[in-house]
Amino acid sequence: MTAPIRVGNAQGFWGDRSDAPAEMLALEPGLDYLTLDYLAEVSLSILAVQRDRDPSLGYARDFVEVVRSLAPYWRAGGRCRLISNAGGLNPRGCAAACAEALRDAGTPPMPIGVVEGDDVLPILRDSAGGAGAPDDFRNLDDGRPISDVLDRVVTANAYLGAGPIVEALAGGARIVITGRVADPSLTVAPCVHEFGWRWDDHDRIAGSTVAGHLIECGAQVTGGISTDWLEVPDPSRIGFPIVEVAPDGTCVATKPGGTGGRVDARTVTEQLLYEIGDPDNYLSPDATVSFLGLRVEDLGGDRVRVAGARGRPAPPSYKVSATFRDGYRAQGMLTISGRDAAAKARRCGEIVLDRVRAAGYSLREATIECLGAGDVTPGLPGPVDRSDLREVVLRVAVADESRAAVERFSKELMPLITAGPPGTTGYAEGRPKVHQVFRYWPCLIGRGLVTPRVSLIGPEDA
């Protein structure tokens, strides 16, 4: 293939606009591929809780409704292929639910590819019996061994690369559903498939990795969270991004015509710098990428060309996103208005924590924030005179290993209805709710220990 392929993204995280995929294909019916990214670092811990309640779950159920919303497009002959990591902890269950939704919608049979093998929790647990094996999963942030938290680990998933997605596409899949994969790999895969790249075409794969990095967060590259966000046109109709990737790995970032937002050199550069760490050593399961030689050329008309990525072989390990239980948390918020609002709000927070301690509980973590008084942005200049503030939102949050301690905290906010200062509102939400805390544990696993699996399912598997 010699023409560029057009890959869009219409979901930057689990909770993004659910109608964005259908809008994207209505505006760009000739799109070659549409990617939807659902998994943040701790998303799988949420899915684990859901799967514990119902073993048939463990995937992003919103995705099934998105697939249902695309049925009219496919019934009308649309050829765009869909790639998503919405499978979470149960890609096969997600695929079966999607097949059923498409069948019910009267869509012609569509092969659905399923990518599994990213769940390395059994490997991690089995390693605990080996001599020193848990050291292989040391925390990348602080160096602690996994044995410190092994009995509390809930999920452990390797970031797979584009390879198994390419295999699914080569097998004829029109929809590919994965568990944990590296975000850019959702874009790398169709490029490798369409252009026939080899895995040692490092510069080309690096270029497609950059393209995937540009669109993986959805509307971030089309003006979302931009430094000049207030100047972004028509943000209520912000468009989702598209990359036109050429056979040499260069790309043009753009968005559907007639949508809000903007794509220019600034928005693209901002996204290029997002979460990359060392710009000369961006690690992905498909390549090690240097961003240092990137050239960003604003072509006008919401089109920006990006070239100059250099690639080296992928690292010998997969990154693993693990999560573990770490106690309980709760937070409560009240609005304090009137004279000396900030001082009154802080005193209210201190009253709540004092009462928890007086009841015999010591809290592992506790914070009082007066929102609007500069507490959230301590490094920036605050109000000239905090006493002049007329309204402040009090936020009190706690965490502890003891559920009883956190539950006691949740009971101490409401008494301020009658014991707190005048001008206090915000009680309608009731007592703060107690939630489990899940912590993130980043680590590495050797590629040889991980075996991706690819299969295809059809309507008969629904």
* pLDDT band of 275, cuts 50, 70, 90: very high
Mean of the pLDDT values across residues 340-355? Answer: 96
Can you read off the two tokens belonging to residue 25? 């294909």
What's the gap between Cα 268 and its chain centre?
Answer: 19
| Mean pLDDT of the 63-87 span | 97
Residue 25 lies in a domain: yes
- Say if residue 342 is in the same domain as residue 311: no
User: Which pLDDT band, with edges at 50, 70 and 90, does 379 fall under?
Assistant: confident
Question: What mean pLDDT do residues 60-76 have?
Answer: 97
The secondary element (H helix, E strand) that includes residue 310 is: strand 310-312
Which of 65, 6, 12, 70 is CA-nearest to residue 33?
6
Last residue of a domain, one of 288, 315, 342: 315
The two structure tokens encoding residue 176: 């590919």
Least confident residue range of 228-232, 336-340, 450-454, 458-462: 458-462
Q: Does residue 202 sit within a domain?
A: yes
Check pLDDT > 90 for residue 429: no
Specify the pLDDT at position 181: 98
One domain for residues 251 and 346: no
The neighbour count for residue 454, using CB atoms within 10 Å, is: 21
94 CB-contact burial (10 Å; exposed 0-12 / middle 13-18 / buried 19+):
buried
Domain count, the chain: 2
For residue 129, the model assigns a pLDDT of 47
CA distance 31 to 38: 20
Distance CA 113, CA 167 (A): 9
Query: Sign of the C-alpha dihedral, residues 276, 280, 285, 287?
Result: positive
Mean pLDDT of 410-424: 94
Geometric angle at alpha carbon 82, from 114 and 459, rounded to 5°: 55
Domain limit, last residue, from 264, 293, 315: 315
Same domain for 293 and 328, yes or no, is no
Give the end-to-end CA distance of the chain in Å, rounded to a whole number: 34
On the question of pLDDT at 461 being above 80, the answer is no
Question: pLDDT tens-digit profile of 14-25?
Answer: 999 999 999 999
Q: How confident is the model at residue 315, as a pLDDT?
A: 96
Q: Round the average pLDDT of the chain to a whole number and report it.
A: 94
The whole-number average pLDDT for the span 425-430 is 86
* Residues 237 and 336 occupy one common structural domain: no
Distance CA 384, CA 437 (A): 37
Q: Which two tokens stand for residue 252?
A: 């043009």
Same domain, 206 and 290: yes
Q: What does the pLDDT average to over 358-376?
A: 93
Whether residue 384 is predicted with pLDDT greater than 90 in this model: the reply is no
Look at residues 315, 340, 363 and tell me which one is the last residue of a structural domain: 315
Same domain flag for 358 and 239:
no
CA angle 147, 153, 159 (to 5 degrees): 100
Residues 66 and 206 in one domain: yes
- Residue 149 maps to a domain: no
47 and 186 housed in the same domain: yes
Task: Please indicate, yes or no, whether residues 179 and 280 belong to a single structural domain of this protein.
Answer: yes
Examine residue 298 and state whether it is found in any structural domain, yes or no: yes
For residues 222 and 215, give the distance between their C-alpha atoms in angstroms, rounded to a whole number.
9
100-149 tens-digit pLDDT: 999 999 999 899 999 999 999 999 888 754 434 545 689 999 999 998 99
- On whether residue 277 sits in a domain, the answer given is yes
Task: Decide if 84 is inside a domain.
Answer: yes
Pair 300, 342 in one domain: no
- Give the residue with greater pLDDT, 108 vs 252: 252
Tell me the two tokens of residue 205: 């794969």
In a domain? residue 311: yes
Query: Is pLDDT at 385 greater than 80 in this prediction?
Result: no
- Domain shared by 336 and 272, yes or no: no
Residue 344 has a pLDDT of: 95
Residues 266 and 186 in one domain: yes
Q: Which CATH number do you get for residue 378? A: 3.30.70
Residue 58 in domain: yes
Question: In one letter, which amino acid is 20?
Answer: A
For residue 74, the enclosing domain spans 5-118+159-315
